[in-house]
Amino acid sequence: MEATARAHPNIAFIKYWGNRDDHLRIPANSSISMNLDGLSTETTVEWADDIAADYLILNGTAQTGPALERVQRHLDMLRRRLNLSAYARVESTNNFPMGAGIASSASSFAALTVAGVAASGRGDIDERELTRLARLGSGSASRSVPGGFVEWHSGDSHETSYAESMAPENHWALVDVIAVISTAHKAVGSTEGHKSASTSVLQTARVADAALRFEQCKRAILDRDFVTFAEVVERDSNLMHAIMMTSRPPLFYWLPGSLEVMESVRSWRSEGLDVCYTMDAGPNVHCICTQERAAEIETRLRQMTYVVDVRTAGVGGAASVVRVSKR
């Protein structure tokens, strides 16, 4: 059987940084995100008896090396959990360019998981279990399985660490206006970064306070309270970057342009514009605003010297199966 699935990337408002268990990707704290509409990864998986190894074609190019190995490890895990022995042909395309400031591992591992399970014909695997399986490939992928605004409960075991939707995509018309500062490939990826989080003496304090920020952010989203939302989202992003900068070795993702955008966003908010910033493991700044403000924010960002491109995305839905067929 062959199945195709589609999943959106997501942007975290309460960040996942550091694991209690790196192997199972049990995070140090629970996190919150929204899916990004219009951006997606589409992946086809065929479990095939006529091949002697897994194959991966990414955006039209056959992969070898680390990208293939990470997918193979995920397929090994799926084979164990789904009781399969066949190897897989995997073909995946992103409709957004790599290096455009949008992490692709969340949508990639969400789509791979949903397609792999659908192609196995196992109808007994529910959404919650799909989020657990996606988590094993990439932590943030668990949040790309359910739709809209999503919470990932850290839990303390494979069973208790899963994601679910806290509000559907039409709950609040927020937009992520991404200020692209650099498209260079990042030097240190998230997986390596998570492993170094505990070397910062600040990580204990960040994690101790994370449940409170989680509750503040969730309440603000449910109440559509932008003022509270903006404060906690920026504080949480700053805290994660403080950990990165004080880890051993230190990780600096901010560039001068990132600082300039963050500074501008703060001053635009003091003028009365509903906008706040958050940054992931890269130099690009995600400016989160209400839909009415998106065009204005985009225009202002495009005028800034360091901003090389701007992309916008509204709130996206759940990962879905696009097609299932028998070969």
Q: Which residues bind ligand DP6 (CB under 6 A)?
A: 12, 15-16, 25, 31, 103, 105, 138-140, 190-191, 194, 280-281
Q: State the Cα–Cα distance between residues 309 and 285, nearest whole angstrom.
A: 11
Which residues lie across from 31 on neighbouring strands? 152
Which residues lie across from 324 on neighbouring strands? 3
Task: Tell me whether residue 256 is exposed, middle or buried, using C-beta atoms within 10 angstroms of its C-beta: 0 to 12, 13 to 18, 19 or more.
Answer: exposed
The residue (of 44 and 107) whose beta carbon lies closer to ligand DP6 is: 107
Find the radius of gyration of the CA atoms of the chain.
19
The CB-of-109 to ligand DP6 minimum distance in angstroms stands at: 7
Place of tokens 């943030």: 140
The residue (of 138 and 247) whose beta carbon lies closer to ligand DP6 is: 138
Residues 6+ apart with CB under 8 A from 269: 230, 275, 276
The CB-of-97 to ligand DP6 minimum distance in angstroms stands at: 18
The residue (of 105 and 216) whose beta carbon lies closer to ligand DP6 is: 105
The CB-of-18 to ligand DP6 minimum distance in angstroms stands at: 10
The residue (of 43 and 46) whose beta carbon lies closer to ligand DP6 is: 43
The residue (of 46 and 92) whose beta carbon lies closer to ligand DP6 is: 92
The CB-of-270 to ligand DP6 minimum distance in angstroms stands at: 27
For 248, list phi and psi in degrees, rounded to 5: -115, 115
Q: State the Cα–Cα distance between residues 1 and 205, nearest whole angstrom.
A: 48
Q: State the Cα–Cα distance between residues 43 and 57, nearest whole angstrom.
A: 10
Residues 6+ apart with CB under 8 A from 172: 149, 221, 224, 315
The CB-of-280 to ligand DP6 minimum distance in angstroms stands at: 4
The CB-of-183 to ligand DP6 minimum distance in angstroms stands at: 17
The residue (of 15 and 89) whose beta carbon lies closer to ligand DP6 is: 15
